[in-house]
């Protein structure tokens, strides 16, 4: 093979060092931006995979009030009273326990809302008493959530609350187990193993409310991460007055007996082993007897989206940048090379007069541009990790900030499943968006930017290089003579 074109390319690159450096510099900027884009995309993809593994995909089953109304399964109105949800709207624990056994469920939890009235033995923690003359509004209760697994409760999963003694509620815990907050334990001189009495609220057939002492055993004491408020708040809203009981315990606090159905739940969550298993879970739920129109299973990928939302937006921006830079780079380089070719008309004419083939002239140009591209790719590979880390972190911090603002707004929206229009407080742990990028430069990234860089070089050379094929050496060499 005649290597002359390579030699000529090398001699020209050395002979016009200023132009060579300029071309390398231009390529360096293009390749660095493109490579940074690729690295940010890869980091985002890794983060998304990791997030998927860490949070899993949670399917939530809860009453769809609208579906119940539309299905005409509400209790009929009595007199002037509105309709009641009734038995058709009850999500029974026995049903959920069956669904929990599905092979696609990695983790299962459910909650049952409830309250417990204080007794002489167990009083509410009230750091700031109610102002004189202000009624508590009928909320002088402990908030008693019936749960299957304490570790799956939002505050415990995200670390806001921690057990300080004893153990948490588990699926196999004794039905009378209660976990209390340390401030309540301290005020009432309680410790793990103590037998306590809490008052269940009983709705009598005539509509009157009465209380009934119910026995519990303190199985664990936890510490809430939320400090006492500086001013009066209703006791039931104070974090210290949050207690946890088993679902059976919550049923007893409703003044009911624990039946074969295990009581009625507010909602159940199923963490799937694989995000693609939702259809299988629905099938298993139907088989267990669930009416999925009234108790739909919806995938709660809020955590996943919260985690990866900002980083994915950053990756989208990086992707756009890659395209814009690649296209703009090709155009700019093509213009630079076209301008170079105009300057090099005489050189091309001389080589043509010697009988050099036109494709080889184009080849020489290509070799020159490719050499510049390869050098630039090398420099970009050396500098891109640092640069893309800096750019990525900067872009990501902006996206995280926006996501946090959006999340704050979202948290204030009412819970669609709550007929009282309460705030949205799904039993899913709060997660913070991924706020740092793990940028790693791999051979694959270099190969991608190499292919892009060389593609740009080829396009930017060949398109204006078509002019070479139309050159006539006589016109070039004798012009002006």
Closer Cβ to other proteins, 315 or 352, answer by number: 352
Q: What's the half-sphere exposure (Cβ side, CA atoms, 13 Å) at 429?
A: 21
DSSP notation for 24-91? HHHHHHHHHHHHHHHHHHHHHHHHHHHHHHHH-EEEEEE--HHHHHHTT-SPPP-TTS-----GGG-E
Closer Cβ to other proteins, 20 or 119, answer by number: 20
Closer Cβ to other proteins, 204 or 478, answer by number: 478
CB of 3 to other proteins, least distance (A): 8
Distance CA 337, CA 17 (A): 15
CB of 477 to other proteins, least distance (A): 6
Closer Cβ to other proteins, 70 or 353, answer by number: 353
Do 452 and 34 touch, CB atoms closer than 8 A? Answer: yes
CB of 33 to other proteins, least distance (A): 31
CB of 27 to other proteins, least distance (A): 20
Do 433 and 400 touch, CB atoms closer than 8 A? Answer: yes
Closer Cβ to other proteins, 261 or 343, answer by number: 343
Residue 193, sorted as left (phi over 0), alpha (psi -120 to 50) or beta, turns out to be left
Q: DSSP character for 88?
A: G
Q: Is 218 helix (H, G, I), strand (E, B) or coil?
A: strand
Closer Cβ to other proteins, 333 or 361, answer by number: 361
CB of 452 to other proteins, least distance (A): 30
Distance CA 147, CA 110 (A): 6
* Token representation of residue 115: 């309250």
Interface residue list for other proteins (CB under 8 A): 2-4, 7-8, 11-12, 14-16, 346-347, 349-358, 472-474, 477-478, 481
Distance CA 217, CA 195 (A): 4
* Token representation of residue 390: 């800096």
CB of 7 to other proteins, least distance (A): 7
Q: Is 38 helix (H, G, I), strand (E, B) or coil?
A: helix
Q: Is 177 helix (H, G, I), strand (E, B) or coil?
A: strand
Closer Cβ to other proteins, 2 or 81, answer by number: 2
CB of 352 to other proteins, least distance (A): 7
């Amino acid at each position: 093979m005649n290597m002359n074109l390579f030699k000529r390319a090398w001699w020209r690159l050395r002979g016009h060092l200023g132009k060579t450096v300029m071309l390398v510099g231009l390529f360096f900027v293009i390749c660095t931006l493109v490579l940074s884009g690729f690295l940010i995309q890869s980091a985002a993809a890794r983060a998304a995979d990791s997030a998927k593994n860490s949070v899993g995909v949670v399917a939530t089953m809860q009453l769809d009030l609208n579906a119940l109304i539309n299905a005409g399964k509400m209790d009929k109105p009595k007199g002037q009273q509105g309709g009641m949800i009734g038995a058709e709207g009850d999500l029974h624990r026995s049903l959920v326990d069956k669904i929990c056994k599905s092979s696609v469920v990695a983790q299962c939890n459910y909650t049952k809302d409830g309250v417990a009235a204080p007794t002489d033995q167990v009083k509410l923690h009230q750091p700031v008493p109610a102002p004189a003359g202000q009624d508590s509004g009928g909320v002088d209760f402990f908030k008693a959530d019936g749960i299957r697994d304490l570790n799956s409760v939002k505050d415990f999963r995200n670390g806001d609350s921690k057990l300080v003694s004893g153990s948490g509620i588990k699926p196999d815990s004794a039905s009378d187990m209660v976990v209390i907050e340390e401030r309540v334990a301290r005020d009432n001189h309680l410790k793990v193993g103590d037998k306590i009495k809490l008052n269940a609220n009983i709705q009598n057939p005539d509509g009157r409310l009465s209380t009934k002492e119910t026995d519990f055993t303190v199985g664990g004491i936890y510490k809430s991460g939320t400090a006492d408020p500086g001013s009066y708040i209703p006791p039931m809203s104070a974090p210290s007055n949050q207690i946890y009981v088993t679902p059976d315990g919550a049923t007893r606090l409703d003044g009911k007996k624990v039946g074969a159905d295990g009581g009625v739940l507010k909602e159940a969550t199923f963490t799937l082993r694989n995000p693609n298993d939702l259809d299988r879970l629905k099938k298993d739920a139907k088989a267990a007897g669930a009416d999925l129109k009234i108790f739909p299973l919806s995938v709660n990928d809020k955590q996943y989206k919260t985690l990866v939302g900002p980083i994915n937006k950053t990756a989208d921006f990086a992707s756009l940048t890659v395209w814009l830079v690649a296209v703009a780079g090709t155009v700019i380089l093509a213009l630079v090379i076209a301008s170079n070719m105009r300057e090099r008309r005489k050189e091309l004419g001389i080589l043509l007069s010697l009988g050099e083939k036109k494709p080889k002239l184009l080849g020489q140009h290509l070799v020159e541009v490719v050499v510049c591209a390869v050098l630039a790719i090398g420099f970009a590979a050396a500098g891109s990790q640092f640069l893309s880390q800096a750019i990525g972190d900067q872009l990501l911090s902006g996206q995280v900030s926006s996501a946090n603002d959006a999340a704050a707004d979202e948290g204030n929206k009412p819970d669609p499943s709550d007929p009282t229009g309460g705030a949205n407080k799904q039993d899913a742990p709060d997660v913070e968006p991924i706020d740092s990028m793990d940028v790693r430069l791999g051979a694959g990234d270099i190969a991608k930017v190499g292919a892009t860089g060389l593609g740009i070089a080829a396009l930017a050379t060949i398109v204006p290089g078509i002019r070479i094929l139309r050159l006539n050496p006589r016109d070039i060499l004798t012009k002006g003579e």
